[in-house]
Amino acid sequence: MQNIKDLDIAELENKLIELGEKKYRAKQIFKWVHQGVRSFDDMTDLSMTLRDKLKKEFDLCIYTIIDKQVSKDGTKKYLFQLADKNTIETVLMKYKYGNSICVSSQIGCKMGCKFCASSKVKFIRSLTSGEIVEQLLAVTYDIGERISNVVFMGIGEPFDNYDNVLKAIHIINNPHGLNIGGRHISVSTCGIVPKILQFAEEGIQSTLSISLHAPNDNIRKSMMPIAERYSINELIDACKKYTEKTNRRITFEYSLVNGVNDTQKDANELANLLHGILCHVNLIPVNSIKNGVYTKSSDERIQKFRDILDKRRITATVRRELGSDIEAACGQLRRDRLKEDII
C-alpha cells in the first residue's frame, strides 16, 4: 500500500481523479494528513465512500516509538520503527524560540565520517519523502506542540537522497500542511559538490550547512572519506557559487576534536580558507561516541579557537550542548539497539 504522506497536492489530485473523485478534495486530504490524523475516519468532512477508498489505497504511515530518551534540558531523542520494521532516530531540541527537530534522511549512512556513530552501522536504504515528514508529525503528536524549525542533520547524508529530501522540504513548507517557512528549514551536507550546485538552483529559501570539520585536505581526509572525492578547494568553490547565486549565508559545521583539528594553526588556516565568504562557523564540541577514537577538545582550546576566528572577522559560535546526559550523538541510540558489528 502507498504511503499517503509521500504525495504532494498535485499527486493527490491525480490520484483522486483516478479514483473518480473531485480533485479539489486533495487540499482537504493533504490538510488532514499533515494535521497528523491517526486514521482516515478522523477526516470528518470527507464522505464515508471517499474515506473507504482512501483506506483501500493508502497507508497513513504511523510510526511506533520503540525508545525515547529525555534529557534534563528537554531534548528528546526518539527511536521510531517504520512499516518495514527498520528503525530511525529523530531528535527534538527545545529552544527559547521554539521546538527544533533534527530529522534523519536515510536508514544508516554510506559516508563513513569517523566522528559519527551513524557511520558505524550498516546503510540499509534512503527514506521516502513521506517517511521524512512523518518524523515531524510523530514528534508533534507526542509533545502536543508545534515544531517551528527543521534541520536535516540526523542519520544519513541528505544530498545522497536528494530528490526525496527536496520533496519533503516542499511538503513541510506547504501552507496547506505544516507550513514551516523555508528559512526555518536547514539542510546539512558532508560536501557532495554537484548537489550543492544543484541546490543553489532550486529557488528555495532553505538554509545550507556544510560539515567542514577541517581547514585542509589532509585533516579532512583523515576524518571524512568524502574528502577523497572532492577536494576542500572544490568544496569551497561550490560554496562561493551557492552564496553568489542565492545570496544566502552558509553555515560551516566544525566539530572540534582534541589534537586533530583544534590547534591555533588550524584556526588560522580555517580563517584563511573562509575569508570573504558569506558564512558563519558553528563550532561543535565533538560528542564522544562509544568505542570512538575521538575525544572532546578542552574548553580552553575551544575558546582560543573561537577567539582567533573572531579576530579574523569570521563569525563563530560554540554550539550549546543539548542532551549531553542521553545518547545524543547522532546514530548512537539506533546503534546501541541494533547491536550490530561496530567497526
- Mind telling me the catalytic residues? 89, 330
Cβ of residue 127: shortest distance to ligand SF4, in angstroms? 13
111 vs 333, beta carbon nearer ligand SF4: 111
Asked whether the beta carbons of 60 and 68 are under 8 A apart, the reply is no
Q: Which of 147, 187, 144 is nearest to 165 (CA)?
A: 187
Asked whether the beta carbons of 295 and 262 are under 8 A apart, the reply is no
119 vs 206, beta carbon nearer ligand SF4: 119
109 vs 150, beta carbon nearer ligand SF4: 109
Cβ of residue 104: shortest distance to ligand SF4, in angstroms? 8
DSSP state letters, 99-139: EEEE---EES-SS--TT-GGGGS---EEPPHHHHHHHHHHH
Cβ of residue 341: shortest distance to ligand SF4, in angstroms? 16
7 vs 257, beta carbon nearer ligand SF4: 257
Residue with cell string 510523530: 138
Cβ of residue 62: shortest distance to ligand SF4, in angstroms? 25
For strands 98-102 and 87-95, give the pairing: antiparallel
User: Which are the contacts of 218, defined by CB distance < 8 A and separation ≥ 6?
Assistant: none
Cβ of residue 79: shortest distance to ligand SF4, in angstroms? 16
190 vs 212, beta carbon nearer ligand SF4: 190
140 vs 186, beta carbon nearer ligand SF4: 186
Cβ of residue 177: shortest distance to ligand SF4, in angstroms? 26
Backbone φ/ψ region at 5: left (φ over 0), alpha (ψ -120 to 50), beta: alpha
| 209 DSSP 8-state letter | E
How far are the Cα atoms of 207, 229, 239, 247 from residue 278, in angstroms, in the given order?
Answer: 12, 25, 9, 8
Q: Which three cell numbers stand for residue 193?
A: 559538490
Chain contacts with ligand SF4 (rule: CB under 6 A): 109, 111-113, 116, 118-119, 155-157, 190, 211, 330
| C-alpha to C-alpha distance for 240 and 236, rounded to whole angstroms | 6
How far are the Cα atoms of 125, 134, 221, 233 from residue 229, in angstroms, in the given order?
Answer: 22, 33, 9, 12
